[in-house]
Amino acid sequence: MVKKVHESAAAALADLKSKGVLRDGMTVLVGGFGLCGIPEHLIKALRDTGVTGLTCVSNNAGVDDFGLGLLLQTRQIRKMISSYVGENATFEQQFLKGELEVEFNPQGTLAERIRAGGAGIPAFYTATGVGTPVAAGKEIREFYRPSDDTTFHNRTPGATSGTYAQMAPKVAPRGADHPRRREYVLETGLYGDLALVKAWKADEFGNLVYRKTARNFNPMMATAAAFVIAEVEEIVPVGAIDPDAVHTPGNYIDRIVKTVPEKRIEQRTVRKA
Amino acid sequence: MPLTRDQITQRAAKELHDGFIVNLGIGMPTLVANYIPPGMDVWLQSENGLLGIGPFPSEADVDPDLINAGKQTITARKGASYFSSADSFAMIRGGHIDMCILGAMQVSQTGDIANWMIPGKMVKGMGGAMDLVAGVRKIVVTMEHNAKDGTAKLVKQCSLPLTGQNCVHMLITDLCVMEFDQGKQRFVLTEVAPGVTVDEVKQKTEAEILVSPNLRTVST
């Protein structure tokens, strides 16, 4: 079996420059929502490799001194693709000075772009963002909502002939009150050169199990990059994870590293005793 | 007397039904959870991957791996489920969430909503708001009827960049409740706060609105 387990985050990245995986200007997918479920040691190790000009795909940008904020401080990130970056003053300064490029994606569109990228789907239509700045310059097309179209009219948008037309029944779609088509915007799949993900547990093949809401973007990112490294809290022998309990199958994972994460909390909120 | 933030929240909670799957926006909408009637089974969804939000944890139960969309530590209720962000937004876009309550900076007379950016100011991002307004079955907006400087927030056309178009079903403000009429494509004033007149609402609203023949006083 290929040895995937590495001794430390630094060791997991050590030979990746010589292998051509790590290079300036590359696109890196980084899992997590806020500071929850981020590969915190892999982020530090990536910083220490000195690679620059990165495009980082991550829902958020960390805080000033933790998570992706560390790579912002050292100016290794050229561009962020995110849905929300509210908690980071370094980010704001660099953005306002024009040193950092930002592409905002609606959170669900970002998640689906990554899912699609990993699933070999180059583009998809979504209603999210129609009529907003997000849709500017993108292709718009009308469809029925899938839930209004159990008679498959979406199979023949404007088609006059062909196999699908013969399949489509000649009755109006269900939902007579709202038979209107609505507009959808074409969004593209997203795939990276490297993905850094965080899971709770891995076996030595790379089967991953996530924990609670630390799952978030990690499962899709694990499928959507040429090289994928997983940071986990526990590594067990192959066979120790029930196949029914595996969230990410091990074939997606190139390297595994066990760490003791700090797991910083952004908004510690407790109920009154 | 205009409604207090608490009363707006209580009025919004009246839109809940037994068995509803609901997503609550950050801020005032989050507080709706405090007014779920006893005995009513409502499932709160958090777009970072949880169906079945429970109360805030005790100090001993704080878990960094369990947060809500506002990044607050929370708990999961009995019967809860965790899932990925892709699955979460499939649930949202696919129409599997019954209701979303969220705030707004502007709402237009045709049901457009703007709540994510002000040109010239630092943009923090839309998060999941655009997906929620595009996919959830019923969109309820809670907001102050007017901005702090008195300008109307219910306008003919949003001047701010949109979060979604033609998607708001209900509007609850400190002055009134309005429901969107899909056929007439206008909001209909259905309830006014105690002591608030139709004229006052109209005067403080830029949008063209309709008035229900069954106009009531808001009860919270």
What is the complex's ipTM, to 2 decimals? 0.96
Q: Terminal CA-to-CA distance of chain B, rounded, Å? A: 13
- d(CA B10, CA B24) in angstroms, rounded, equals 14
- Touching check for A243 and chain B: CB below 8 Å? no
Look at residue A251 and tell me whether its pLDDT is greater than 50: yes
pLDDT of B13-56, one tens digit each? Answer: 999 999 999 999 988 899 999 999 999 999 999 999 999 999 99
pLDDT at site A179 = 55
Phi-psi region of A239 (alpha: psi -120 to 50; beta: other; left: phi over 0): left
Lowest mean pLDDT, pick from A162-171, A223-232, B107-116, B138-147? A162-171
pLDDT at site A162 = 39
3-state SS class at A81: strand
- d(CA A142, CA A126) in angstroms, rounded, equals 10
Best B53, B63, B71, B169 residue to mutate vs chain A (most A CBs within 10 Å): B71
pLDDT at site A174 = 45
| Local confidence band at A128 (pLDDT 50, 70, 90 cut-offs) | very high
pLDDT at site A157 = 54
- Specify whether B208 is catalytic: no
- d(CA B163, CA B170) in angstroms, rounded, equals 16
Listed in sequence order, the residues at least 6 apart from A253 whose beta carbon sits closer than 8 Å to its beta carbon are A4, A202, A205, A206, A208, A222, A228, A229, A230
| Local confidence band at A155 (pLDDT 50, 70, 90 cut-offs) | confident
CB-nearest to B165 from A102, A131, A267 is A131
- Touching check for B64 and chain A: CB below 8 Å? yes
Q: What is the pTM of this model?
A: 0.95
Q: Which letter does DSSP use for residue A36 in this model?
A: B
- Touching check for A82 and chain B: CB below 8 Å? yes
Q: Are B60 and B53 in contact (CB under 8 A)?
A: no
Exactly one of B47, B144, B206, B208 is catalytic; which is it?
B47
Listed in sequence order, the residues at least 6 apart from A272 whose beta carbon sits closer than 8 Å to its beta carbon are none
- Touching check for B85 and chain A: CB below 8 Å? yes
Closest CA to B68 of A42, A73, A33: A33
pLDDT of A180-215, one tens digit each? Answer: 688 999 999 999 999 999 999 999 999 999 999 999
Q: Are B166 and B109 in contact (CB under 8 A)?
A: no
Instruction: Count chain A–chain B contacts defined by CB atoms under 8 A.
Output: 180
Report which secondary-structure segment, H or E, holds B155: strand B154-155
| Local confidence band at B107 (pLDDT 50, 70, 90 cut-offs) | very high
3-state SS class at B157: coil
- HEC string of A207-241 equals CEECCHHHCCCHHHHCCCEEEEEEEECEEECCCCC
Closest CA to A119 of A252, A254, A255, A256: A252
3-state SS class at A250: helix
Mean pLDDT of chain B: 96
- d(CA A266, CA A67) in angstroms, rounded, equals 12
